[in-house]
Amino acid sequence: MKRITYTSLINRTLEIYMKGDYLEAYNFITENYKGIKGNLAQIYNFRYTIANTAGIEDLALQIMSEAIVEKGFWYQYNYLIEDEDLKSLINIKNLMNY
């Protein structure tokens, strides 16, 4: 079985996402990202953003917390505030708790 690459993971996730199959896109990236050599911070960003777009806000916040608190990834404040896919999470109280 051929191993998936970072680029193919991102591209396939985006293909599914652009079709509006948000839960499928989330499941695809989550089931296939482990062990991939690439930008893990971006993979986490895709995961929490897509989870939020799929309407799973609690999971999105959990993944965001894992990325920032546990993994130490940094995301630009303006990006987090301005990203349309994260608008429902933009509640300063929630962000300050994570």
Per-residue pLDDT of the chain (98 residues; tens, 9 = 90+): 467 999 999 999 999 999 999 999 999 999 999 999 999 999 999 999 999 999 999 999 999 999 999 999 998 888 887 887 887 777 644 555 55
Q: What is the pTM of this model?
A: 0.83
Q: Which pLDDT score, from 0 to 100, does residue 85 have? A: 81
Q: Which of 34, 92, 88 is nearest to 60 (CA)?
A: 88
Q: Which pLDDT score, from 0 to 100, does residue 77 have? A: 84
How many Cβ atoms are within 10 Å of 98's Cβ, its own excluded? 13
Q: Which residues of 27-52 are buried (b: 16+ CB within 10 A; e: fewer)?
A: bbbbebbeebeeeeeebbbbbbbbbb
Q: Is the dihedral of CA 42, 43, 44, 47 positive or negative?
A: positive
> Residue 4: what are its φ and ψ, rounded to 5°?
-75, 140
